[in-house]
Amino acid sequence: MTAPSYLVLHGWQNHRPADHWQHRLADELTARGLVVRYPQLPDADDPDLAVWEESVRAELAALPEGPVTVICHSLASVLWLRLQTGDAPPRVDRVALVSPPSPELVAGQSIRAFVAGEAFDGRLLPAGATEAVVVAGDDDEWLPLGLQDTWEARVDAPLHLVPRGGHLTPDSGFGPWPEMLAWALGTPAEDAFA
């Protein structure tokens, strides 16, 4: 069986700090000899939707043939779902959408283009993967209505709550995150995030 390759995508205002769980995850997977791409997306403080979409497509194209796992955090989760509604939506084997912010909150920010139009009009969005999971803290400030109320009817994937997880950043205690490493290495979501 061919080992998967990985694409790890950060969110808004994220400059890939070394203590973030995504950085640690990329390092751990790389240390295991796996192919990992963890790019700094352009202009993280003031992202341009089209530029980020193009960057994600280029990163996917740069991965070797074989199974692909994508792990998104925050705004990258919204970006991934938006890509699923356009022409030529990317398809991968596994995707984790971590701390996807409420589209209603994003709409009030300078990054509103990421949720503009009909992409988040209440329809069920495909996750673009054979296996998908959505994970968020039960007290995430970017999900004031909670994960279920915000995303259950919007994304075709099981939802998993992390007690007191906040936005799943180093500030909320998520540097090391062994559950995400277990999922990335193939543990089913219902076991990894139990």
Predicted local confidence at residue 82, as pLDDT:
93
What pLDDT digit, counting tens, does each position of 146-180 carry? Answer: 999 999 999 999 999 999 999 999 999 998 999 99
What pLDDT digit, counting tens, does each position of 124-134 carry? Answer: 888 889 999 99
What pLDDT digit, counting tens, does each position of 62-81 carry? Answer: 999 999 999 999 999 999 99
Predicted local confidence at residue 121, as pLDDT:
77
Report in angstroms the alpha-carbon separations of 130 from 21, 116, 156, 186. Answer: 24, 27, 11, 13
Looking at per-residue pLDDT, the higher value among 143 and 85 belongs to 143
DSSP category for residue 112: G
Q: What are phi and psi of 105, to 5 degrees?
A: -70, -40
Rounded-to-integer distance, Cα 109 and Cα 10, Å = 17
Question: Helices marked H in the chain — which ranges?
Answer: 21-31, 49-62, 75-84, 103-106, 147-151, 178-184, 189-192
Rounded-to-integer distance, Cα 42 and Cα 52, Å = 7
Predicted local confidence at residue 125, as pLDDT:
86
Mean predicted confidence (pLDDT) in 3-27: 94
Looking at per-residue pLDDT, the higher value among 125 and 142 belongs to 142
Arithmetic mean of pLDDT over the chain? 94
| Closest to 82 (Cα-Cα) out of 69, 72, 67, 68 | 72
Is 83 a residue whose pLDDT tops 90? yes
Which residues, at least 6 apart from 47, have a Cβ–Cβ distance to it below 8 Å?
A: 12, 41, 75, 111, 114
Integer-rounded Cα Rg, in Å, for the chain is 15
Is 99 a residue whose pLDDT tops 90? yes
The residue range of the domain holding 177 is 5-192
What CATH number is attached to the domain comprising 90? 3.40.50.1820
| Closest to 104 (Cα-Cα) out of 89, 116, 86 | 116
| Closest to 81 (Cα-Cα) out of 42, 133, 119, 113 | 119
Number of domains in the chain: 1
What letter represents residue 107's amino acid? A
